[in-house]
Amino acid sequence: MQNFFTGDGGFTHSGALAGPYGMGRVAYIDAYDVAACAAALLTGPLGGGDAYALTGPEALTHEEIAAKLAIPFHDLTPKKASEDLRVQGLPGWFVDDLLRLYADMAAGSMAEVTTAVRDLTGCPPRTFDEFLANR
């Protein structure tokens, strides 16, 4: 969730949420929840080589996220997104990686919501609204 405020790689650098996201949903997670899970695994009885898919508690479209951020949403073509990212000075290999990530987002492959945060920490992950309220 914190990525929406860094301005790096597109996201909100232009005062709008712009990218080739389509209407795919993403279950973004708060970095604090990731840290809480890491602490639980490092200090508790869990772990043992198990893998955990950490997600936020809701899968949102980028249009919904833009509305929560009170900024416009611009769904770009991959070509336009690539051009915009390169103008920002990002290296080609990084732009290519971002475009693959955006394609996965648009396809909805990041929409799964898991219970891993609650399972590991005993607390539910923060919603996007809670993240914004505590920012």
Q: What is the pTM (predicted TM-score) of this model?
A: 0.87
Sorted by where each starts, the structural domains of the chain and their CATH numbers stand as 2-133 (3.40.50.720)
pLDDT, tens digit (0-9, with 9 covering 90-100), for 4-48: 887 554 555 578 899 999 999 999 999 999 999 999 999 988 766
Q: Is 73 left (phi over 0), alpha (psi -120 to 50) or beta?
A: beta
- Please write the tens of the pLDDT for every residue from 67-77: 999 999 999 99
Structure token digits, residue 51:
């893998």
Contact indicator for 47, 130 with CB cutoff of 8 Å = no
Residues linked to residue 104 through DSSP beta bridges, in sequence order: none
Q: What are the pLDDT digits (tens) for 101-131?
A: 999 999 999 999 999 999 999 999 999 999 9
